[in-house]
Amino acid sequence: MRRCDQETGEGLVRTGIARRLGDWLLARARGSATRLLVLLMLIVGLTGSVMSSTGVVAIFIPVVLRICTRLGIPPGQLMMPLSVAALISGMMTLVATAPNLVVQAELTRQGLPGFGFFGFTPFGLPILLLGIGYMLLARRRLSAGPAEDGTTPGARTTLRQLVEDYRLQDRAHRLRLRAGSLLAGQRLDKLALRARHRLNVMAVERPARFGTEIFSPNAETVLRADDELLVELPATPQDLAEIARRLGLQPLPIEHSDLAHRPHAVGIAEMIVTPGAELTGKSVLEAKLRSRLGLTVAGMRRGNAPVAEDMLEKPLQAGDSLLVVGPWTDIRRSQRGRRDLLLLNQPEDLEELTPAATRAPYALLSLAVMVALMVSGLVPNVQAAFIAGLLMLGFRCLDMDSAYRAIHWPSLVLIVGMLPFSLALQRTGGVTLAADALIATVGEAGPHALLASLFALTAVTGLFISNTATAVLMTPVAIATAQETGLSPYPFAMIVALASSAAFMTPVSSPVNTLVMGPGRYRFGDFLRIGLPLAVLVMAVSVALVPLVLPLR
């Protein structure tokens, strides 16, 4: 089931839904760091309730870095809130994190009904609000800051920076094919737009059933009426108007942001001509990179200066830098075998690639089907997740390679490896011994003291091993403690699940913390200083809430 859940999350990434959440976040924040933190934690907390928390963090790290660069906020101010929200998202639903599934599996193994899909939500939502309030107060205690060289940690050249370096904004235009245009129904290679009009088509935006489809054209691409072309053309406004009139094109306004956002669908990268390359001495037109490699040259730099005049006709030299546009697959393919062009700079935006953007409605439909099946109980949760994974593949939100890469194999191996260890503890009496020790220590103080002690023991165990392994070890102890004291096992099992997700205190407690440590430039002590008080607060809220929702008797 965890494998199918990870595939569903990968489908949300490939179809661009996760990226659109990031764009929405930036727009709604309106430059306010406080509003940004609140919205970020809400979005991450809710998104992580239906997909892997590790996957959510991996999606949002480049989004947060981009936002920090734009707003001038140190990444350390947002990376810790990101990890906290992702960990708390594991308390929202049954499938949100592996420890929940471990707890569910142990209940089922012992012949007890498991929790429902939203059985965790009454605890996760209040704890998420608590986490947001706490991080608003605690964020200034974070000592993380920019790197010594003044750059944002983990940041690379962005699409916007590449556009500015090659002065592409001065030569880029948007043109729509009018009905009856001479170009409609014609193949690009037959039109020879670059040779005849110096018009270089970088991307095509075409109406589709859901929104628009944006792609990088090749020599065989047939243009259609109403296509919008993103073109590179060194021309004055008067020359542009004349070319548009002759070809039946309508000039459209273009914003700087168009150049930074269109390439998410088509790909843009910086390459350098290698010494001894076959391209040396040939012009861009003579090199025929579009037909050979599927790449369009949108800009050139020689030395430290961009080449604007006669770029297509200038003979290429070793060391020339080229800004190329094309499908990401063709950019990667150009690096195989003999490499006349060496990938010099791959913008950070590549990590937010959405190669199946037009399949977004189908990804949402697949996710909705999974949730509906889990809530209704028509099929077991494992089958519901499996059906969602099949739908993602059937709707082409995923391909098999992406589905395979989306699986976090270390988590699966860890769970499979720890289960026999847990079983051995039960059969040798280790679980009973641990439960008896817990009861003897705090049993007389009452059920709430038992819950608090169990939470603390689980959280401390999570300091040394992963939260998934912690759940594997502690769930049998929790159930045994409840049974020996004549109490319901459900509050105790829920406490273990919540405590396993409250892995705020060290960077090794969860992959989520490990991911944000580098970009946020945190030290080990930062997690302890921020995470320990939060873990205590979460324990207090959990011990108070759990018996109210899940009666002790």
Cα distance between residue 348 and residue 330, in whole Å: 18
- Please indicate, yes or no, if residue 227 is contained in any of the structural domains: yes
Average pLDDT, the chain: 79
Looking at the fold, whether 123 and 71 belong to one and the same domain comes out as: yes
Looking at residue 17, the DSSP 8-state letter turns out to be H
The pair of three-digit structure tokens given for residue 218, joined into one six-digit string? 């090749």
Looking at the fold, whether 49 and 190 belong to one and the same domain comes out as: no
Q: Which of 346, 374, 392 finishes a domain?
A: 346
- Please indicate, yes or no, if residue 356 is contained in any of the structural domains: no
Looking at the DSSP bridge assignments, the partners of residue 343 are 271
Burial-class residue 378 by CB neighbours within 10 Å (0-12, 13-18, 19+).
exposed
Q: What pLDDT digit, counting tens, does each position of 285-325 carry?
A: 888 887 788 788 888 888 667 887 778 788 998 778 888 88
pLDDT at 321: 84
Looking at the fold, whether 267 and 180 belong to one and the same domain comes out as: yes
- Please indicate, yes or no, if residue 290 is contained in any of the structural domains: yes
- Please indicate, yes or no, if residue 474 is contained in any of the structural domains: yes
Looking at the fold, whether 249 and 303 belong to one and the same domain comes out as: yes
Which range, 9-13, 67-71, 88-92, 422-426, has the best average confidence (pLDDT)? 88-92
pTM: 0.61
pLDDT at 500: 92
Which range is least confidently modeled, 38-42, 253-257, 475-479?
A: 253-257
Structural domain total, the chain: 2
pLDDT at 140: 78
Look up the CATH number of the domain holding residue 337.
3.30.70.1450
**CB-CB contact of 213 with 147 (8 Å):** no
CA end-to-end span of the chain: 31
Q: Is the pLDDT of residue 205 over 80?
A: yes
Looking at the fold, whether 178 and 39 belong to one and the same domain comes out as: no
Q: What pLDDT digit, counting tens, does each position of 374-397 carry?
A: 667 777 766 776 787 788 778 776
Q: Which of 346, 380, 413 finishes a domain?
A: 346
Looking at the fold, whether 267 and 161 belong to one and the same domain comes out as: yes
Q: Is the pLDDT of residue 86 over 50?
A: yes
**CB-CB contact of 7 with 392 (8 Å):** yes
Q: Is the pLDDT of residue 202 over 80?
A: yes
Looking at the fold, whether 123 and 204 belong to one and the same domain comes out as: no
Looking at the fold, whether 309 and 385 belong to one and the same domain comes out as: no
- Please indicate, yes or no, if residue 250 is contained in any of the structural domains: yes
pLDDT at 493: 95
- Please indicate, yes or no, if residue 497 is contained in any of the structural domains: yes
Q: What pLDDT digit, counting tens, does each position of 222-248 carry?
A: 999 999 998 888 888 888 899 999 999
- Please indicate, yes or no, if residue 353 is contained in any of the structural domains: no
Cα distance between residue 256 and residue 168, in whole Å: 10
Looking at the fold, whether 104 and 221 belong to one and the same domain comes out as: no
Average pLDDT over residues 348-355: 48
Write the DSSP assignment of 386-450 as a string of letters.
HHHHHHHHHTTSS-HHHHHHHS-HHHHHHHHHHHHHHHHHHHTTHHHHHHHHHHHHHGGG-HHHH
Cα distance between residue 226 and residue 240, in whole Å: 18
- Please indicate, yes or no, if residue 220 is contained in any of the structural domains: yes
Looking at the fold, whether 378 and 230 belong to one and the same domain comes out as: no
Looking at the fold, whether 294 and 375 belong to one and the same domain comes out as: no
pLDDT at 439: 82
Looking at the fold, whether 393 and 456 belong to one and the same domain comes out as: yes
CB under 8 A, 24+ apart: contacts of 423-431:
425/473, 425/476, 426/476, 431/476, 431/477, 431/480
Question: Where in the sequence is the domain holding 214, given as residue range(s)?
Answer: 157-346
